[in-house]
Amino acid sequence: MTVAVYPGSFDPATNGHIDIATRAAAIFDRVIVAIYDRPAKNLLFTTEERVDMMAKALAGLPNVAVHSFSGLVVDLARRSGAKVIVRGLRASADFEYEFEMALMNRKLAPEIEVVCLMTSVEYLFLSASLLKEVAVLGGSIHNMVPDHVASALRKKFLR
Ligand code: ADP
């Protein structure tokens, strides 16, 4: 059985993240979507909110679990019996960062492979940070996030 971990901040889950998780679930026996508890970023949503939104989005996939975690991704992968770390790749900007991180992870855990799935073209320019900028200014985020994420964003920004 091949277990894969798909780590990220997911602040919040976008259709781009959901697409990668769904495609990973079709390749690997079990996928753990692992949500960084405290990434080196300013977050809009709490860990619990990010886990709940992602879990709801992926509820239809029986081989996917959503958990929060802290510490190194490779440690989580080892604890979970995962041999693969999945990441999503958009354009060249992601590549540099993902390449660097993949090589570091290989140094830390040579037995674990990083597998990058290419974004679907409709999500090529979709990022959680840009999405939040559009949402805070009241722009349409239709087709970028599931409905429950869109209403969570509206609630946050109405406060
Ligand atoms: P990070 O892990 O850097 O905090 P995110 O939580 O935003 O980043 O994203 C988690 C993973 O999903 C990363 O590998 C990122 O490149 C990927 N990703 C983000 N948005 C998209 C998208 N629109 N299409 C494909 N992959 C994406």
Provide the domain limits for residue 11. Answer: 3-158
Distance between Cα 14 and ligand 1 center (Å):
9
Residues in the chain: 159
Task: Give the bridge partners for 117, in sequence order.
Answer: 88
What does the alpha-carbon distance between residue 139 and residue 149 come to, in Å, rounded to a whole number? 15
Q: What would the pLDDT profile of 2-40 be if each residue is shown by its tens digit?
A: 999 999 999 999 999 999 999 999 999 999 999 999 877
Pocket of ligand 1 (CB under 6 A): 8-10, 14, 16-17, 20, 39, 87-88, 90, 94, 119, 123, 126-128
Q: What would the pLDDT profile of 86-120 be if each residue is shown by its tens digit?
A: 999 998 789 999 999 999 999 999 999 999 999 99
| Top-confidence residue, 21 or 158 | 21
Distance between Cα 111 and ligand 1 center (Å):
23
Q: What is the CATH number of the domain that holds 49?
A: 3.40.50.620
Q: End-to-end distance of the chain based on CA atoms, in angstroms?
A: 45
pLDDT at position 58: 98
Query: How many domains does the structure of the chain reveal?
Result: 1
Q: Which one, of 25, 158, 15, 39, lies nearest residue 84 by Cα?
A: 25
- Say what the pTM is: 0.96
Distance between Cα 79 and ligand 1 center (Å):
23
Is the pLDDT confidence value at 157 over 90? no
Q: What is the mean pLDDT of residues 131-135?
A: 94
